C-alpha cells in the first residue's frame, strides 16, 4: 500500500474515487474549491462546476436518483444557497449514495461570516461526519457513501479550513467493486414530494435519526480513550487534534459522527470521568444537546464562541478558567507598530481602474463577493456594502427605492461574471422587472478569480479545460429586460468614465460590462502581458496622482530627488496595463525603453 501527503480536500477527492462516485458537482468557494479540482484526476468521475451551490446539489441529486453515487461540494455559506433542495432531499432519501461536503471557515480567513454547518445537519435531520485529518477525510468519505445507502439518507461531511487545507499522510486504497450500475427506476411515492407523499416520509425521517443515533453508539468512528479520568473532553474534527496536543492527559470522546449524537456512548463516557467538557469550534452544538440530556458539562463558559481554536488558545482558555496551570509563557509580539499587509488586487487587475473612477465619482457602491471586494481597501475605498453572492444588484435595487432622485443616481452595483451567473441573474431580472434606476457594473474578467481562477459558464471552458459555449452576458442582460447595456474596456479610463457618467445619470436600470480578463489567466491569448512601464524621474513632479490607483507595482520613494519624493515602478510586477500612465498629468510614465 502506498502513502502520500494529501490535503484534506485532496483526500476527500481520493475518498470519492475509492467509493466509486460517478458524478461530482460544485461551485468554487474557499476552503472547499480543491476537492473538485482534484476529483478530475480520476476520469471515472463526471465532474463539473455548477453556476451555484443549489444547482450543484441538484445535479448530485439527479445522479443519485439515477442510481449512481454522487458528491456535491461547497463552502459553508454555499450551504445557505443549497438549503432549499437539501431539506427535501432529507425526505426523499437517495438512490445511489449522496454526500454533501461543507467546508466551514472558522476565523473567516476568506469568508463573510463564520456559520457552523453542524446546525444544518440537525436542521435538515441528516447525519454529519467530521474528519480530523486527511486520512480520515478519505476514510469518512468512503464510509459516508455506505451510510447514505444503508440509511437511505444524504450524508454531510463537515470540513474546516485547517482540515481542507492542512496536509497529512494518507494510505491509498483501491476503489470499491461491485456497485450496481445506474438505471432509471420509477418510484414517485418516494421521490415526488407533494404534501401527501411528504407526510408519509416525515415520520420515516424522524425514525431514521433515532436509528442513526443508536448506530453511532457502537460505530468505531466514535471513539472513547480513557487516559486520566480527572478530565473528559468531547471533541470532533480538527479540535480533537488540538485537544490531544494541548491537554495530552485528558480522556477524550472523539466523535466522527457529529449528528445525530451517540447518546448512550456520551452517557457512558460522562459517567467514567470526573469532570466533562466539550471543546468545539463556533457554536455550542454538542454542549447544548449534552446539557439537554441532563448531564453536567462545561463548554462555551471556557471556550470562545468566535473564531478558530488552536492548541494554544485551548490551553490559554483552560488556564484562564483555572482548570489547568499554565505551562508555556507566550512570547512577546513586536512592540512597535508594524505596517499591516492586507491582500490587494494584483498589478494590472482590470477592476482597479473602475474602482478608481467610482471613488472619484463619489458613487455609493453596493458590492459583492470576489476579488473586486478588495476595492473596499484604501486608496480606492470604493465599496459601501457587501452581503453575499448576488446581493449587490438586489441591494442597489432596494436602496434606490428609498432614496430621493439625486441620490439614486449615485447608486452603482458591482458584481463579477461568476457571481452574476451564480445568483446575480435573478437579482438583475428583479431590477429590470421593477425598473429600479440603478447602474450595474458587471466586472467580467472571464474567470472565477478569487478562489484561484476556476472556469464558469461565461468563460468558455469547463472544469477539465474542455471548450464550452460561452454565456453572452450583454445579450443575457438585454433578454432580462435591461435596455441599456454597454461594454467598455476598463483599461481605457476616459472611455469608461464617460460611459459610467452617462449610465449613472440615466433614470432607468442600466448595465455596464467590462471586458478585460483577469491578469492571472495565462495562455490561450486570454491575458497578454504588455511591455512594462517606467517612471521618468526627471519628468515626475511628485504629485502622487499615480498612487491613487493603489497598484502594488508602484512605490513611493520619499527620499528620491529632494523633499517631495518620486514614484517608481517595479518592473518585476508591472503588467503594462497603463492605468498609472493615464493618471499622470505630466507625461512622466512611459513604456520601458523610452517609447511612449
Stretch binding ligand SF4 (CB under 6 A), from 32-40, 132-140, 380-388, 571-579: 571-579
* Smallest distance from other proteins to CB 104, Å: 13
Q: Which of these segments, 140-148, 274-282, 306-314, 567-575, binds ligand SF4 (CB under 6 A)?
A: 567-575
Q: How far is the CB of 298 from ligand SF4 (least distance, A)?
A: 44
Cα 285 to Cα 221, 258, 261, 520, distances in angstroms: 19, 9, 10, 41
Pick what 514 binds: other proteins, ligand SF4, none; C-beta below 5 to 8 Å, kind-dependent. none
**How far apart are alpha carbons 535 and 553 in whole angstroms?**
12
- For 445, other C-beta atoms within 10 Å of its C-beta total 28
- Does residue number 348 form part of the binding site for ligand SF4 (CB under 6 A)? yes
Task: Please report whether residue 47 would count as binding ligand SF4 according to CB under 6 A.
Answer: no
Measured from the CB of residue 44, what is the shortest distance to other proteins in angstroms? 25
Q: Which residues contact 122 (CB under 8 A, 6 or more apart)?
A: 259, 260, 285
How far are the Cα atoms of 28, 481, 496, 511, 514 from residue 499, in angstroms, in the given order? 32, 20, 5, 10, 11
In this chain, which of 354, 577, 584, 588 binds ligand SF4, going by CB under 6 A? Answer: 577
Cβ 356 to other proteins shortest distance, Å: 14
Least distance CB 311 / other proteins (angstroms): 4
Give the one entry of ligand SF4, other proteins, none that residue 579 binds, where binding means its C-beta sits below a cut-off of 5 to 8 angstroms depending on kind.
ligand SF4
Which grid coordinates belong to 213? 443515533
Q: What's the closest the beta carbon of residue 583 comes to ligand SF4, in angstroms?
A: 8
Question: How many distinct helices (H) and strands (E) make up the chain?
Answer: 21, 23
* DSSP string for residues in 212-264: HHHHHHH-TTSEEE-SEEEEEEEEEHHHHHHHHHH-TTEEEEEESEEES--HH
Return the range that interacts with ligand SF4 (CB under 6 A); candidates 83-91, 178-186, 536-544, 551-559. Answer: 551-559
Cell, residue 501: 457618467
For residues 553 and 555, give the distance between their C-alpha atoms in angstroms, rounded to a whole number.
Answer: 6
The residue count for the chain: 596
412 in Cβ contact with 362 (< 8 Å): no
Rule CB under 6 A: say whether 349 interacts with ligand SF4.
yes
How are beta strands 554-557 and 566-569 bridged, if at all? antiparallel
Nearest approach, Cβ of 499 to ligand SF4 (angstroms)? 20
Q: Write out the residues near other proteins by the rule CB under 8 A.
A: 3, 5, 30-31, 109-110, 133, 161-162, 165-169, 238, 241-242, 244-246, 248, 310-312, 315, 328-334, 336, 338-346, 371, 374, 377-379, 450-452, 544, 547, 550, 552, 554-556, 558, 565
Binding residues for ligand SF4, total number by CB under 6 A: 25
Rounded CA-CA distance 450/460 in Å is: 18
Per DSSP, the three-state class of 156 is strand
Residue 519 binds to ligand SF4 (criterion: CB under 6 A): yes
Q: Which stretch binds ligand SF4 (CB under 6 A): 84-92, 301-309, 316-324, 575-583?
A: 575-583
29 CB-side CA count, 13 A: 33
Closest residue by Cα to residue 231 from 267, 278, 268: 278
Q: How far is CA 574 from CA 150, 348, 435, 534, in A?
A: 57, 7, 42, 9
Q: Strands 589-591 and 257-259: what pairing?
A: unpaired
Q: How far is the CB of 53 from ligand SF4 (least distance, A)?
A: 21
The reply to whether 367 sits near ligand SF4 by the rule CB under 6 A is no
Of these partners, ligand SF4, other proteins, none, which one is at the site of residue 575 (CB under 5 to 8 Å by kind)? ligand SF4
Q: Which of ligand SF4, other proteins, none does residue 248 bind (CB under 5 to 8 Å by kind)? A: other proteins
Contacted by 452, from ligand SF4, other proteins, none: CB < 5 to 8 Å by type: other proteins
| Alpha carbons 400 and 396: distance in angstroms, whole number | 6
Q: How far is the CB of 275 from other proteins (least distance, A)?
A: 22
Q: From ligand SF4, other proteins, none, which one binds at residue 13 (CB under 5 to 8 Å depending on kind)?
A: none
Is 579 a binding residue for ligand SF4 by CB under 6 A? The answer is yes
Q: What is the smallest separation between the CB atom of 548 and ligand SF4, expressed in angstroms? A: 11
Say whether residue 578 binds ligand SF4 (CB under 6 A).
yes
Cα gap 408→387, rounded to integer Å: 20
Residue 484 or 544: the one with the smaller Cβ distance to other proteins is 544
Instruction: Please choose which of ligand SF4, other proteins, none residue 591 contacts, taking the beta carbon within 5 to 8 angstroms, the exact cut-off set by kind.
Output: none
Phi-psi region of 578 (alpha: psi -120 to 50; beta: other; left: phi over 0): left
In the block, which residue shows the cell 485529518?
A: 133
- From the list ligand SF4, other proteins, none, which binds 440 (C-beta under 5 to 8 Å, kind-based)? none
488 counts as binding ligand SF4 under rule CB under 6 A: no
- Beta pairing partners, 72: 25, 100
Q: Determine the Cα–Cα distance for residues 371 and 551; give it in Å rounded to an integer.
A: 14
CB of residue 482 to other proteins, shortest distance in Å: 31
Q: What are 240's three cell numbers?
A: 480533537
Work out what residue 162 binds among ligand SF4, other proteins, none; the CB cut-off runs from 5 to 8 Å by kind.
Answer: other proteins
> Pattern of binders to ligand SF4 over 521-540, x per CB under 6 A?
------------x-------
User: Which residues inside 115-174 make contact with ligand SF4, applying CB under 6 A?
Assistant: none
In the list 387, 520, 543, 560, the residue contacting ligand SF4 (rule: CB under 6 A) is 520
Q: 463 by DSSP, 3-state: which?
A: coil
**Pairing of the two strands 385-386 and 364-367:** parallel
Which of the choices other proteins, ligand SF4, none does residue 176 contact, using the CB cut-off of 5 to 8 A by kind? Answer: none
User: Phi-psi region for residue 320, left (φ > 0), alpha (ψ -120 to 50) or beta?
Assistant: alpha
Q: Is 582 in the site for ligand SF4 (CB under 6 A)?
A: no
> Which one of residues 255, 412, 569, 588 is an interface residue with ligand SF4 (CB under 6 A)?
569
In order of 331, 353, 567, the CA distances from 335 in angstroms are: 11, 37, 31
Stretch in the footprint of ligand SF4 (CB under 6 A) among 181-189, 344-352, 359-367, 434-442: 344-352
CB of 556 to other proteins, least distance (A): 3
In whole angstroms, how close is the CB of 577 to ligand SF4 at the nearest point? 3
Peptide bond into 260 cis (omega under 30): yes
Q: What residues line the site for ligand SF4 (CB under 6 A)?
A: 345-349, 351, 371, 445, 449, 518-520, 533, 549, 551, 553-554, 569, 574-580
Amino acid at each position: 500500500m502506498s502513502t502520500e501527503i494529501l490535503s484534506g480536500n485532496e483526500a476527500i477527492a481520493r475518498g470519492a474515487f475509492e467509493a466509486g462516485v460517478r458524478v461530482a458537482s460544485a461551485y468554487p468557494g474557499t476552503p472547499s474549491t480543491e476537492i473538485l479540482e482534484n476529483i478530475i484526476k480520476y476520469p471515472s468521475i463526471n465532474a463539473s462546476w455548477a453556476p451555484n451551490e443549489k444547482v450543484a446539489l441538484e445535479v448530485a441529486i439527479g445522479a443519485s436518483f439515477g442510481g449512481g453515487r454522487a458528491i456535491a461540494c461547497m463552502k459553508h455559506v454555499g450551504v445557505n444557497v443549497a438549503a432549499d433542495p437539501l431539506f427535501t432531499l432529507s425526505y426523499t432519501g437517495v438512490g445511489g449514495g449522496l454526500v454533501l461536503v461543507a467546508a466551514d471557515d472558522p476565523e473567516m480567513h476568506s469568508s463573510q461570516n463564520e456559520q457552523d454547518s453542524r446546525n444544518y445537519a440537525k436542521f435538515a435531520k441528516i447525519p454529519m461526519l467530521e474528519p480530523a485529518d486527511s486520512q480520515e477525510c478519505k476514510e469518512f468519505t468512503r464510509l459516508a457513501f455506505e451510510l447514505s445507502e444503508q440509511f437511505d439518507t444524504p450524508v454531510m461531511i463537515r470540513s474546516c479550513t485547517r482540515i481542507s487545507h492542512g496536509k497529512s499522510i494518507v494510505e491509498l486504497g483501491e476503489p470499491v467493486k461491485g456497485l450496481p450500475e445506474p438505471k432509471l427506476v420509477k418510484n414517485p411515492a418516494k421521490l415526488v414530494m407533494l404534501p401527501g407523499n411528504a407526510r408519509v416520509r416525515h415520520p420515516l425521517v424522524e425514525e431514521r435519526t433515532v436509528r442513526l443515533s443508536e448506530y453511532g453508539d457502537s460505530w468505531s468512528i466514535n471513539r472513547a480513550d480513557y487516559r486520566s479520568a480527572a478530565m473528559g473532553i468531547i471533541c470532533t474534527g480538527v479540535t480533537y487534534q488540538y485537544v490531544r496536543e494541548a491537554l495530552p492527559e485528558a480522556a477524550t470522546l472523539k466523535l466522527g459522527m457529529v449528528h445525530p449524537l451517540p447518546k448512550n456512548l456520551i452517557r457512558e463516557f460522562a459517567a467514567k470521568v470526573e469532570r466533562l467538557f466539550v471543546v468545539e469550534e463556533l457554536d455550542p452544538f454538542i454542549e447544548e444537546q449534552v446539557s439537554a440530556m441532563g448531564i453536567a458539562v462545561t463548554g462555551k463558559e471556557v471556550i470562545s464562541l468566535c473564531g478558530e481554536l488552536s492548541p494554544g488558545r485551548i490551553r490559554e482558555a483552560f488556564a484562564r478558567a483555572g482548570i489547568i496551570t499554565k505551562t508555556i509563557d507566550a512570547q512577546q509580539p513586536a512592540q512597535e507598530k508594524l505596517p499591516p499587509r492586507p491582500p490587494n488586487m494584483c498589478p494590472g487587475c482590470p477592476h482597479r481602474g473602475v474602482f478608481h473612477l467610482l471613488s472619484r465619482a463619489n458613487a455609493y457602491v453596493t458590492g459583492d463577493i470576489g476579488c473586486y471586494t478588495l476595492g473596499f481597501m484604501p486608496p480606492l475605498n470604493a465599496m459601501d456594502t457587501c452581503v453575499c453572492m448576488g446581493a449587490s444588484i438586489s441591494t442597489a435595487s432596494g436602496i434606490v427605492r428609498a432614496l430621493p432622485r439625486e441620490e439614486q443616481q449615485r447608486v452603482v452595483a458591482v458584481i463579477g461574471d461568476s457571481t452574476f451567473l451564480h445568483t446575480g441573474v435573478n437579482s438583475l431580472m428583479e431590477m429590470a422587472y421593477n425598473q429600479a434606476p440603478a447602474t450595474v457594473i458587471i466586472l467580467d474578467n472571464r474567470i472565477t478569480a478569487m478562489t484561484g481562477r476556476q472556469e464558469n459558464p461565461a468563460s468558455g471552458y469547463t472544469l477539465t479545460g474542455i471548450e464550452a459555449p460561452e454565456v453572452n452576458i450583454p445579450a443575457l442582460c438585454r433578454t432580462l429586460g435591461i435596455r441599456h447595456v454597454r461594454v467598455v474596456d476598463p483599461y481605457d479610463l476616459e472611455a469608461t468614465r464617460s460611459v459610467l457618467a452617462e449610465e449613472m445619470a440615466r433614470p432607468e436600470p442600466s448595465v455596464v460590462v467590462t471586458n478585460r480578463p483577469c491578469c492571472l489567466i495565462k495562455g490561450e491569448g486570454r491575458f497578454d502581458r504588455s511591455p512594462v512601464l517606467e517612471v521618468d524621474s526627471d519628468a515626475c513632479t511628485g504629485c502622487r496622482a499615480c498612487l491613487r490607483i493603489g497598484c502594488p507595482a508602484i512605490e513611493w520613494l520619499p527620499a528620491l530627488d529632494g523633499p517631495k519624493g518620486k514614484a517608481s515602478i517595479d518592473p518585476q510586477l508591472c503588467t503594462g496595463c497603463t492605468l498609472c500612465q493615464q493618471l499622470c498629468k505630466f507625461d512622466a510614465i512611459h513604456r520601458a525603453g523610452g517609447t511612449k
